[in-house]
Amino acid sequence: MVTHGLANPPPTQHVLGVPISLLGMQETLDWIEDVIREGGSGYVCTVDASGSVMASKDPELAEIYRGALLATPDSHGIVWALKQRGVRECRRVSGIEIADKLCAASSRKGYRVFFLGAAAGVAEQAAERILLKHPGCRIVGTRNGFFTPDDDELVAKEVAATHPDLLFVAMGIPRQEKFIARWQAATGAKIAMGVGGSFDVMSGRLRRAPRWVQAVRCEWLWRLLQDPRKIAKVKLLPKFVLAVLREGR
Ligand code: UDP
């Protein structure tokens, strides 16, 4: 059972059945650090349009999102949906930025961080680059994310041996969320968070969209051009828009 040890849950607004956190970036970081300080534990989900469409067809994923400490709006699609529901003030709170800022906090406060996921060597490369950016960040372990569910327990034990405070899991939706929901307790991590393709970007193997591309809300197109396999995710966008509009009626 995941607990957060905090009295007040964050404000949320439902999008396709998922309670999306309305906290901004700094409030999200403060919330996560409060949980660590107060000895609680739990997981954070970073939800994008494709994840919320998947959850509408996958009851297990929907349940995992509902059980999160925070399900943050990780895409412009989710922010658009929140605005459709009457939320005036909201912005993207992306997994890659949360992870980066928590690594910065680690270098100040000593949080122990584990990077799990991506292809062989990528988590290590991401860790090296993060250490250059945030000297003193305590990355206590890294491991690639290509293993079968039969090895989940073994991997959870490997992570547990490093006693992490923060576990970032970059194995894509819904694999990372299902791994976290099932094995977080076994890893002993206080906070676990799915971060999708973040290690590919942190390692320098993929480039994040420039700010102007993000500002015109075309990060999805940028990612598609870098990785044409993303077409499967892009195809879910019209479904997402229709479902949000239908739900709002
Ligand atoms: N990945 C992994 N294990 C797998 C499948 C994928 O570690 O079994 C990694 C993959 O190498 C990539 C990340 O998971 O680094 C998925 O990134 P993506 O951007 O597709 O994530 P999403 O869009 O689902 O957030």
Residue 6 is assigned to a structural domain of this protein: no
Residue 3 is assigned to a structural domain of this protein: no
Residue 83 is assigned to a structural domain of this protein: yes
User: Is the C-beta atom of 115 inside 6 A of ligand 1?
Assistant: no
Residue-wise pLDDT tens digits, 140-171? 999 999 999 999 999 999 999 999 999 999 99
User: Is the C-beta atom of 118 inside 6 A of ligand 1?
Assistant: yes
Residue 2 is assigned to a structural domain of this protein: no
Q: Which domain holds residue 152?
A: 12-247
CA 83 to each of CA 146, 221, 244: distance values in angstroms, whole numbers, following the listed order: 37, 22, 11
User: Is the C-beta atom of 245 inside 6 A of ligand 1?
Assistant: no
Q: Which two tokens stand for residue 152?
A: 């989940």
Residue nearest to atom 6 of ligand 1 (CA): 171
Ligand 1 centre distance from Cα of residue 171 (Å): 4
Report the distance separating Cα 40 and Cα 32, nearest Å.
10
Residue 241 is assigned to a structural domain of this protein: yes
Report the distance separating Cα 13 and Cα 84, nearest Å.
11
Residue 7 is assigned to a structural domain of this protein: no
Residue-wise pLDDT tens digits, 209-243? 898 998 888 888 888 888 888 888 888 999 999 99
Cα of 50 vs its chain's centroid, Å? 13
- Give the torsion sign (CA, 19, 22, 24, 26): negative
Given this model, what pLDDT does residue 3 score? 53
Give the number of the atom of ligand 1 that is nearest the alpha carbon of residue 144: 7
Q: Which helix or strand (DSSP H or E) is residue 115 part of?
A: strand 112-117
Q: Which two tokens stand for residue 137?
A: 């960040």
Whether the pLDDT of residue 9 is over 90: the answer is no
Cα of 90 vs its chain's centroid, Å? 18
Report the distance separating Cα 242 and Cα 249, nearest Å.
11
Mean pLDDT computed over 181-194: 98
Residue-wise pLDDT tens digits, 112-150? 999 999 999 999 999 999 999 999 999 999 999 999 999
Residue 4 is assigned to a structural domain of this protein: no
Report the distance separating Cα 23 and Cα 38, nearest Å.
19
Whether the pLDDT of residue 203 is over 90: the answer is yes
Give the number of the atom of ligand 1 that is nearest the alpha carbon of residue 194: 25
Residue 1 is assigned to a structural domain of this protein: no
Rounded to a whole number of angstroms, the CA Rg of the chain reads 17
Mean pLDDT computed over 81-94: 94
Report the distance separating Cα 185 and Cα 121, nearest Å.
26
Mean pLDDT computed over 177-182: 98
Residue 36 and residue 111 in contact, taking contact as beta carbons nearer than 8 Å: yes
Instruction: Tell me how many domains the chain contains.
Output: 1
Amino acid at 25: M
